[in-house]
Amino acid sequence: MSSAYAEVNGVKLYHEIYGQGEPLVLIHGGLTTIGEMQGWVQPLAKTRLVIAVEMQGHGRTADTDRPMSFTTLGDDIVALLEHLKIPRADLIGHSFGGATAIRAAIQHPHRVRRLVVISSPYARSGWYPETQDGMSQIGAGMAENMMQTPTGKFSKKWPEPQRFPQFLDKMGKMMSEDYDWSADIAKLPMPVLLVFADNDSVSQKHIAEFFALLGGGVKEPGWLNTRLSKSRLAVVPGYSHYNFITSVEVPQIIGKFLADPLTNAPAGGAAASQVAPAPEKTQ
């Protein structure tokens, strides 16, 4: 594993690189870090070049004066690819990271080979009402309790650790803003895999509507699967939104999706898969 920082769009984006093969960017959930994703990183890195990233204000990527929006975070992912000299990559995002990955795919579709969205809706209304209420309550007033989160612990090592409460205010504001990306979702050109827990914080109705926007589950595929959608849906039993990161099934499902001949774009995106800048440190 190598680790480094990339100066992109006003933040120093911490990332770790594992394995070799076609490039894949893995984006964590809210207030978590790369460490909590190791159960997914390691299996994927057996056959792929996995770039695990910590977004603005998360983990070792310190917060700055820059405002937070999913639009900006999506741009950060593509700026990281440019920094690493990778023309195209597969994107995988969990929860908060799923929204970031969606925005990157919408804003820069030519840079995304395939998209994997884990436990993240296409509209804020897809979250259950109590989940929406909880996200709206994130703010500086919760800083003391939030110091126990992985990001809270890392914030003590930021150049300006006193920024953590302010960062929570920005997170809460962003998570409270209404959005509906359905029109853009329906235009996505790349194959998309949706992965949700059977007891997720996103409603099953919304999950079905998300899949339908991608052309999935809306028509009979034919006896020989001649009309099979290039997008996929997986609902994994026995998990909630809050423990889904421990699912051993998720990386297996992702691996199958990436290996499926129907989801493989023409060659070219993997040409730079071995390209990465010299790391600042190696562990």
The tens digit of pLDDT for each residue in 129-168 reads 999 999 999 999 999 999 999 999 999 999 999 999 999 9
**Residue 223 pLDDT grade (very low, low, confident, very high; cuts 50, 70, 90):** confident
Give the angle subtended at the CA of 215 by the CAs of 88 and 201, to the nearest 5°: 85
Token pair 């799923």 is found at: 98
**Residue 227 pLDDT grade (very low, low, confident, very high; cuts 50, 70, 90):** confident
Would the pLDDT of 276 be above 70? no
**53, 112, 114: which is closest to 87 by C-alpha?**
112
Would the pLDDT of 201 be above 90? yes
Q: 194 by DSSP, 3-state: which? A: strand
For CA atoms 212, 132, 241, 58, the dihedral sign is positive
**112, 109, 104: which is closest to 75 by C-alpha?**
104
Would the pLDDT of 29 be above 50? yes
- Indicate the average pLDDT of the chain: 93
pLDDT at 77: 98
Rounded to two decimals, the pTM is 0.93
% residues pLDDT > 90 (the chain)? 88
pLDDT at 162: 96
**Residue 262 pLDDT grade (very low, low, confident, very high; cuts 50, 70, 90):** confident
pLDDT at 266: 52
What mean pLDDT do residues 181-190 have? 97
Would the pLDDT of 41 be above 90? yes
User: How do residues 1-18 score in pLDDT, each as one tens digit?
Assistant: 999 999 999 999 999 999
Distance separating alpha carbons of residues 231 and 210, to the nearest angstrom? 11
pLDDT at 267: 44
pLDDT at 134: 95
% residues pLDDT > 70 (the chain)? 93
What mean pLDDT do residues 49-77 have? 97
- Please give the single-letter amino acid code of residue 53: V
Would the pLDDT of 272 be above 90? no
**Cα-based distances in Å from 259 to 35, 175, 265, 283:** 26, 34, 11, 29
Would the pLDDT of 265 be above 80? no
For the ranges 111-125, 128-142, 150-164, 222-236, the lowest mean pLDDT is seen at 222-236
What mean pLDDT do residues 116-129 have? 98
